[in-house]
Amino acid sequence: MQIDLTQDKKIYFASDQHFGVPNLQESRKREEKFIRWLDGIKKDAQVLFLMGDLFDFWHEWKYVVPKGYIRVLGKIAELKDAGIDIYFFVGNHDLWMKNYFEEELGIPVYFEKRYYEIADKKFLLAHGDGLGPGDKGYKRMKKIFTNPLAQWAFRWLHPDIAMRIANYMS
Q: What is the CATH number of the domain that holds 134?
A: 3.60.21
Give Cα 26 distance to the centre of its chain. Answer: 19
Domain count, the chain: 1
* Rounded CA separation 95/54 (Å): 11
Give 5's pLDDT tier (boundaries 50, 70, 90). Answer: confident
Contacts (Cβ under 8 Å, ≥6 apart) of 93: 18, 52, 53, 55, 56, 57, 58, 170
Give the domain extent around 162.
2-169
Whole-model pTM? 0.87
pLDDT of residue 150: 86
pLDDT 10s digits, 28-68 = 999 999 999 999 999 999 999 999 999 998 888 888 888 88
